[in-house]
Amino acid sequence: MRALTHVSSLSIPRTIGLWLLASCFISACSNNSDSNNPPQETPVTSLEVEQDIDWLNDGTRDVGFSIDAIPFTVQSDSTVSIDVLSAGAFNPAMDAQIYLAPDDGSIESLDLVYTNDDGEAGSDGSTLELDSFLSVELPAGNYVVYIGACCFSAQDALNGFHRLAESAPEAELTPGDVNGRYRLTITGDVEL
């Protein structure tokens, strides 16, 4: 930039010659730079969190279930995979659901931009599609994964629990559906 600024104050014929010389010099520097410093691969880390989703009871009956919030940081723009293992692996297990939100310090329901209920077998040993799975390109920054039993809303995630229907909660879910253990694996250039 400085060389071009200096060149611009010269007379027209000399400016063109110096501009070409500067252009060749900059181009050669770029080529040398590329050969001496090959592109770096994005580091890949796998983080695991193993916890339980629990029934909430008001003393007389089950009224809902907990939703966990797992914060993590993406170190550089990269592909991040979020893989849940529960159904078919733990007893009791659950039909998992996840939401993913960028965390700018104040998360609202509209921030929960990615969700998955029935995913696919990831690399964690999932054998049933009831386990959630996401693989997304994320810019560097802070994020939160919300995990619970299907099916909860973005607002439920922010509240930290899902309330069952007042009229017939047992028709919505049974305790075995949600009182389950899960393992959440986050893979990418990430840290907890």
User: What pLDDT score was predicted for residue 40?
Assistant: 61
Q: What is the mean pLDDT of residues 155-164?
A: 91
Contact (CB, 8 A) for 99 and 145: yes
The Cα–Cα gap between 118 and 126 comes to 11
User: What pLDDT score was predicted for residue 8?
Assistant: 28
Contact (CB, 8 A) for 145 and 188: no
Contact (CB, 8 A) for 180 and 53: yes
Q: What is the pLDDT of residues 47-88, one digit of tens each?
A: 999 998 888 888 887 788 899 999 999 999 999 999 998 887
What rounded mean pLDDT belongs to the chain?
Answer: 75
Q: What is the mean pLDDT of residues 136-156?
A: 94
Question: Does the pLDDT of residue 23 top 50, yes or no?
Answer: no
Question: Does the pLDDT of residue 20 top 50, yes or no?
Answer: no
Per the listing, tokens 């159904």 go with 87
Percent of the chain scoring above 90 in pLDDT = 36
User: What pLDDT score was predicted for residue 109?
Assistant: 84
User: What pLDDT score was predicted for residue 44?
Assistant: 86
Per DSSP, the three-state class of 27 is helix
Distance from chain centroid for Cα 187: 9
Lowest mean pLDDT among 2-16, 96-110, 172-186: 2-16
Contact (CB, 8 A) for 101 and 113: yes
Q: Which residue from 140, 149, 133, 150 is spatially nearest to 85, judged by alpha carbons?
A: 133
User: What pLDDT score was predicted for residue 91?
Assistant: 76
Domain 45-191 top-level CATH class: mainly beta
Spell out the domain ranges in the chain: 2-36, 45-191
Question: Does the pLDDT of residue 148 top 60, yes or no?
Answer: yes
What is this structure's pTM?
0.72
What are the CA-CA distances from residue 26 to residues 32, 98, 131 (Å)?
A: 10, 49, 52
What are the CA-CA distances from residue 24 to residues 5, 9, 29 (Å)?
A: 16, 19, 9
pLDDT-derived band at 129, boundaries 50, 70, 90? confident
Q: What is the mean pLDDT of residues 131-152?
A: 93
Structure tokens at 29: 């520097």
Sheet with 55-57, side-by-side order of all strands: 55-57, 62-66, 161-163
pLDDT-derived band at 124, boundaries 50, 70, 90? low
Question: Does the pLDDT of residue 27 top 50, yes or no?
Answer: no
